[in-house]
Structure 1
Amino acid sequence: MENYTVDEYALCTRFKSKRRKKRLVKKDFEKHLIQLRKQEKELWQKQNNLPLIPLESPYQKGWQRSFVLREDIARSNESSFYRGLLEKINTWQFSSEKSFKRKKKRKRRNVYVEKIQTVKEFSEWEWRSSKLELTEKEKAHFYKRERWCSNFKRHRIHYMFNESWRYVLRISPYMITHTKMVDSDLESEIQLLDNYITNLNLRNKINKLVDGYSRYSGYYDYKDPREENRIKNKSLNVLYQQYLDENDINHGK
């Protein structure tokens, strides 16, 4: 009878080889990571779907600014058309101050300049999209403009409204009238799952497996708690004082 190796014997029988066992363990672990992502998304969806509760006493939180129809245009025959168009291209800004000014540095001095606000502009992709809600009559009031984009380092095409003088800005108090319902059990469940993923450093592995890349820039803190340096950015005096305090506690016991 010929002598067979362990791997050759495993191929002829129903026993799993070492390589197959290792592959199955990895596959089960990846399935577990996918289930964690699904569970996390379901919990987030439940939290987002919590209803709003009206407040007994609404309060003001800063100011809001948006466009309204000019008084003479509101009295004209075309008021309904421009009012309907405004609902599609209106923009809102929020500020803690009624002046709507921001700090800007000029010649080594900080000055306050007013924030610029315009009606909505459409990119070339939005203009050609089937989801654009503008009618042909409304599209006739826009013109094509090519503008340099510093982010993409090239010129980009925008479609801008050519009769912005028909609208004026109006400032009004920004009132908080509702608040999100708080579910303590749901929040504890979300925190428990997040602690499990963070403590075992599974966030990058989940993102790599599900999304194809390892991390979201700036959204999560990817420091492994098991590799955290507890004496980082601490002076020798502080470390020495902590050492003395720990010794005093131990001797006191």
Structure 2
Amino acid sequence: MENYTVDEYALCTRFKSKRKKKRLVKEDFDKQLIQLRKLEKELWNKRRDLPLVPLEVPYQKGWQRNFKLRDDVAKSSEAPFYIELLEKINTWQFSSEKAFKRKKKRKRKYVYVEKFQTVKEFSEWEWKSSKLELTEKEKAHFYRRERWCSNWKQYRIHYVFNEPWRYVLRVSPYMITHTKMVDSDLESQIQLIENYIVNHHLREKINRLVNGYSNTWKFYRKENPKEKNPIKNKSLHALYQQYADEMIENHGK
């Protein structure tokens, strides 16, 4: 009778080899991570779909600025057309100050200049898209313009509204009247999954299984609390003092 190794005997029988057992364990763990990702997304969607709850006492959080129809245009016979068009091209800006200024560097000094705001402009892709809500009459009030884009390092085509003087800016308080409902049980489940993924360094592995790549957004790159660097966020003076104390102590011994 010939002698067989364990792996060779496993090939001839219904027993699984050690290599196959390891592979099955790994595949089962990967399937669990995929299901964990699905559960996490499901919980996120549930939190996103929670209704808004009105506040008993609304409060102001800065200022908002948008366009409105000019008074003389509002009295004309074409006012309904421009009001309907404004609903499609209006833009909003938010600021903590009523002046709506931003810091800008000029001649090695920082000065405050007013923020620039215009009605919505359409890119060439948006203009040719079937989802564009503008009618043919409304499209006639836009003109084609080429503008240098610093991000793409080339000229890009935009469609700009040709009568911006019909609208003026309006500044009003930005009031918070509603808040998102908070479900304590739902938040507890989300935090439990988040702690498990962070503590076991599984975020990149899950992304590799689901998306095909392991890169993660900076927002989700959280430091493991078990591996926090004890010298992180300490000043250099404190580190030098600690090093000097250790050297003195070792020299005394």
TM range (shorter): 0.7 to 0.9
SS of residue matched to 2:174: strand
Contact conserved, 1:62 with 1:97, CA < 8 A, in 2?
yes
Asked if 1:82 is matched to 2:86, the reply is no
Distance 1:37 1:240 in 2: 48
Structure 1 residues 112 and 215: CA distance shift in structure 2, 3 A: same
Residue number in structure 2 paired with 1:188: 188
Asked if 1:237 is matched to 2:244, the reply is no
Residue number in structure 2 paired with 1:245: none
Structure 1 residues 155 and 2: CA distance shift in structure 2, 3 A: farther
Residue number in structure 2 paired with 1:104: 104
TM-score (normalizing by structure 2): 0.88
Residue number in structure 2 paired with 1:91: 91
Further displaced range: 114-123 or 76-85 = 76-85
Q: RMSD across aligned C-alpha pairs, in angstroms?
A: 2.1
Q: What letter corresponds to residue 155 of structure 1 in structure 2?
A: Y
Contact conserved, 1:60 with 1:173, CA < 8 A, in 2?
yes
Residue number in structure 2 paired with 1:169: 169
Further displaced range: 126-135 or 65-74 = 126-135
Q: CA deviation at 1:21?
A: 1.7
Contact conserved, 1:231 with 1:239, CA < 8 A, in 2?
no
SS of residue matched to 2:130: coil
SS of residue matched to 1:174: strand
Distance 2:154 2:181 in 1: 45
Q: What letter corresponds to residue 56 of structure 1 in structure 2?
A: E
Distance 2:61 2:161 in 1: 31
Structure 1 residues 233 and 168: CA distance shift in structure 2, 3 A: closer
**How does 1:221-232 map onto structure 2 within 5 Å?**
221-225=221-225, 227-232=227-232
SS of residue matched to 1:67: strand
Distance 1:116 1:91 in 2: 11
Listed as ranges, the gaps of 5+ residues in structure 1 are 243-253
Q: CA deviation at 1:29?
A: 1.1
Structure 1 residues 74 and 231: CA distance shift in structure 2, 3 A: same
Residue number in structure 2 paired with 1:26: 26
Residue number in structure 1 paired with 2:37: 37
Asked if 1:131 is matched to 2:131, the reply is yes
SS of residue matched to 1:134: coil
Further displaced range: 147-156 or 228-237 = 228-237
Distance 2:68 2:80 in 1: 13
Residue number in structure 1 paired with 2:64: 64
TM-score (normalizing by structure 1): 0.88
Q: CA deviation at 1:170?
A: 0.6
Structure 1 residues 28 and 171: CA distance shift in structure 2, 3 A: same
